[in-house]
């Protein structure tokens, strides 16, 4: 239900709105737009301006999630995001062992008393990481949200749910999102073709993918890929999502525990500066272009279908600590979204989240509302 209680023409507007609203799920989300004047007699706390099934599910103030990011999603960033009222996520596999993940979770607890999650990426490798150990660390650390990605998390769902852990699975297609729903995931993060990291192999951008997801899914979902500001959030909500997930945008923040050169590279990049690599291996990744990426692409062109992982190992294996920690910018390929073209500053996480919410609020209340006749 849209509320416009401060407008003189509120009843007329509500009547006018009612027949026009054609959300796939009428209850899908609730926007409570409220007056910006803090002295207004009916002014409720601004902090609860957007309430969706995602904010309810995860017990967070704002419908914004920070996606897991290798060598970026450490306790400092996750805690800053959660303290800002969104959902911070520690990247599980960046911690080399379950014991180290347990320490990282404990470290995060010293920095925030708000909910935060852990990303578990299920890799398609033969020798898999110690997933039971990582899950034990999550359970014992009292974490209540897990963001899964990569392979199907079905095997781990009973254990996670048994411990009251909510699961949000990252998907790049409607069919995978439906599968996630069928196996009992509580929510999905729908990652469009624009996204930094692994966009899958279907190449469907969010303007199509999100409304398609809204047509099919019953569980709530967040829009991921290309999200940067209040415009992204309002657009995501309009397309049927109940929040947004951001990766690249959160890298360019004061608290992101990465080298300043990485943040400056994102600020300097335009929307034309990312490249897709590893498509011949059906492991497509969107990365920021650099000298190593150009060598990698040249190798892909040269070898075509015959390309093997070993041919590009120098540009992709073990490069994250060198880039993120040492600022060795041409060490290899690192994930970055097209959204870099919208990122022009390195604010604190709180300033970023507050700005997004204020922008979203102004868009709904002023720009969009003023267009209604």
Ligand X SMILES: Cc1cc2nc3c(=O)[nH]c(=O)nc-3n(C[C@H](O)[C@H](O)[C@H](O)COP(=O)(O)O)c2cc1C
316 vs 339 by CB, closer to ligand X: 339
Q: Which residues bind ligand X (CB under 6 A)?
A: 67-70, 72, 91, 119, 121, 149, 170, 191, 194-197, 224-227, 245-249, 334-337, 339
31 vs 228 by CB, closer to ligand X: 228
35 vs 153 by CB, closer to ligand X: 153
Closest residue to ligand X in the complex (CB): 247
| 232/341 Cα distance (integer angstroms) | 13
114 vs 249 by CB, closer to ligand X: 249
> Least distance (Å) from ligand X to the CB of residue 148?
8
Other Cβ atoms closer than 10 A to 327: 16
Residue 277 C-alpha from the chain's centroid: 21
The Cα angle at residue 29 between residues 25 and 33, in degrees rounded to 5: 140
List beta partners, residue 122.
150
> Least distance (Å) from ligand X to the CB of residue 39?
37
> Least distance (Å) from ligand X to the CB of residue 259?
12
33 vs 319 by CB, closer to ligand X: 319
> Least distance (Å) from ligand X to the CB of residue 162?
23
Q: At what angle do helices 98-111 and 131-140 cross, to 10 degrees?
A: 30
> Least distance (Å) from ligand X to the CB of residue 334?
6
Q: Please, what's the b/e burial string for 246-263 (b: 16 or more CB within 10 A of its CB; e: otherwise)?
A: bbbbbbbbebbebbeebb
Please state the φ and ψ torsions of residue 189, each to the nearest 5 degrees. Answer: -110, 115
2 vs 230 by CB, closer to ligand X: 230
At 188, is the secondary structure helix, strand, or coil?
A: strand
> Least distance (Å) from ligand X to the CB of residue 22?
28
Q: Please, what's the b/e burial string for 194-218 (b: 16 or more CB within 10 A of its CB; e: otherwise)?
A: bbbbbbbeeebebeebbebbbeebe
> Least distance (Å) from ligand X to the CB of residue 262?
8
DSSP track, 238-299: HTT-SSEEESHHHHSSTTS-S-HHHHHHHHH--TT-EEEE-GGGT--EEEE--HHHHHHHHH
Other Cβ atoms closer than 10 A to 154: 15
33 vs 316 by CB, closer to ligand X: 316
Q: Which uninterrupted H or E stretch holds 223? A: strand 221-224
């Amino acid at each position: 239900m849209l509320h416009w209680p401060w407008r003189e023409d509120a009843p007329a507007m509500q009547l006018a709105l009612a027949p026009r609203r054609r959300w796939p799920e009428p209850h899908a989300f609730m926007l409570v737009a409220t007056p910006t004047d803090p002295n207004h007699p009916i002014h409720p706390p601004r902090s609860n301006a957007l309430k969706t099934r995602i904010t309810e599910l995860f017990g967070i103030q704002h419908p914004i999630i920070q996606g897991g990011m290798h060598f970026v999603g450490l306790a400092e960033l996750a805690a800053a995001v959660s303290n800002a009222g969104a959902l911070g996520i520690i990247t599980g596999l960046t911690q080399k062992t379950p014991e180290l993940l347990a320490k990282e979770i404990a470290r995060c607890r010293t920095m925030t008393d708000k909910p935060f999650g852990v990303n578990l990426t299920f890799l398609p490798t033969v020798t898999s990481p110690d997933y039971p150990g990582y899950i034990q660390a999550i359970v014992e650390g009292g974490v209540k949200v897990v963001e899964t990605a990569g392979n199907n998390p079905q095997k781990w769902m009973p254990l996670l749910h048994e411990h009251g852990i909510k699961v949000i699975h990252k998907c790049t297609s409607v069919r995978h999102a439906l599968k996630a729903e069928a196996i009992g995931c509580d929510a999905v993060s729908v990652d469009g073709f624009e996204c930094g990291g692994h966009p899958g192999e279907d190449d469907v951008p969010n303007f199509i993918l999100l409304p398609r997801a809204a047509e099919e899914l019953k569980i709530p979902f967040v829009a991921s890929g290309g999200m940067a500001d209040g415009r992204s959030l309002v657009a995501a909500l309009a397309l049927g999502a109940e929040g947004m997930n951001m990766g690249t945008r959160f890298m360019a923040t004061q608290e992101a525990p990465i080298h300043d050169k990485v943040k400056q590279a994102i600020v300097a990049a335009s929307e034309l500066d990312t490249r897709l690599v590893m498509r011949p291996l059906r492991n497509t990744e969107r990365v920021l272009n650099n000298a190593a990426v150009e060598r990698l692409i040249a190798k892909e062109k040269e070898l075509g279908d015959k390309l093997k992982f070993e041919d590009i190992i120098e540009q992709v294996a073990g490069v994250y600590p060198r880039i993120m920690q040492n600022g060795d910018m041409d060490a290899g390929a690192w994930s970055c979204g097209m959204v870099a073209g919208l990122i022009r500053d390195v604010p604190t996480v709180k300033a970023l989240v507050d700005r997004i919410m204020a922008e979203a609020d102004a868009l709904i209340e002023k720009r969009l509302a003023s267009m209604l006749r």
